A and B are shown apart, each in its own frame.
Chain A
């Protein structure tokens, strides 16, 4: 089955700095790569996603890049704000089933 590795497990940045979270996957059949944000006591919520026929996607301060050859994808958050503090999960979907990374706890210090 699919295996997704996510790094780092914790990330602390100063407000205004950029944050980068990286994921690798193993199944070349995976074709959908979402990123979810989970706030304390809540369920995860989608913040951005990318499909395998696209290399990069941007939505305001958030961007995702995908390298199919190397089987890795990354989340980039620019101009971080305290409200960006949360746990972020990457996922890779193959044949409709999503496999998640172990999560990154992002802390943005004011």
Chain B
């Protein structure tokens, strides 16, 4: 059971380039989300999805797009990378959402540097 898989683990981009961070889970989880982690600032929610075809914005959505075409996959797209997007990105999933929300299962993280 692989759990939550993120790729790539490391990426260096130049300002203005675009890229996609991939996230896949094999636990048939309903809920998937993306967080960014910056030093001293904990984990901040970027976007989340409560099921295939449904996405919504979190606390810091600007500069990022997501889509959820299948239950398993939840890619995060940076359309025009900026140095402020240098961070460690975590994908997390949960079996349920809403009032019955439970444990988040995190991937290993993707470290992105924008020059």
Q: Mark B77-115, 1 if CB is under 8 A from A, else 0.
A: 000000000000010100001110111101111000000
Q: Which residues of B are found within 8 Å of A36, using beta-carbon distances?
A: 104, 106
Chain B interface extent, by class: 20 to 34
Q: Which residues of A are found within 8 Å of B97, using beta-carbon distances?
A: 96
In A6-64, which residues have CB < 8 Å from any B CB?
A: 6, 9, 31-32, 34, 36, 41-46, 49
Q: Which residues of B are found within 8 Å of A43, using beta-carbon distances?
A: 4, 90, 92, 106-109
Cβ–Cβ contact A89 & B48, under 8 A: no
B40 at the interface (CB under 8 A from A): yes
With A43-B90, A43-B109, A44-B90 in contact, do A93 and B101 touch (Cβ < 8 Å)? yes
Cβ–Cβ contact B101 & A98, under 8 A: yes
Cβ–Cβ contact B43 & A97, under 8 A: no
Nearest-CB distance from A21 to chain B (Å)? 13
Q: Which residues of B are found within 8 Å of A49, using beta-carbon distances?
A: 102-103
Nearest-CB distance from B30 to chain A (Å)? 10
Q: Which residues of A are found within 8 Å of B108, using beta-carbon distances?
A: 41-43
Query: Chain B residues in contact with chain A, CB under 8 A?
Result: 4, 31, 33, 35, 40-45, 48, 50, 58-59, 90, 92, 97-99, 101-104, 106-109
Cβ–Cβ contact B109 & A95, under 8 A: no
Cβ–Cβ contact B50 & A100, under 8 A: no
With A32-B101, A96-B50 in contact, do A45 and B106 touch (Cβ < 8 Å)? yes
Cβ–Cβ contact A96 & B99, under 8 A: yes
Cβ–Cβ contact B104 & A34, under 8 A: yes
Q: Which residues of A are found within 8 Å of B98, using beta-carbon distances?
A: 95-96
Nearest-CB distance from A82 to chain B (Å)? 23
Cα A103 to Cα B88 in complex, Å, equals 15
Cβ–Cβ contact B41 & A97, under 8 A: no
With A95-B98, A102-B40 in contact, do A46 and B104 touch (Cβ < 8 Å)? yes
A99 at the interface (CB under 8 A from B): yes
With A43-B107, A44-B106, A103-B42 in contact, do A1 and B101 touch (Cβ < 8 Å)? no
Q: Which residues of A are found within 8 Å of B44, using beta-carbon distances?
A: 100
Query: Which of A9, A46, A97, A103 is B58 in contact with, Cβ under 8 Å?
Result: A97
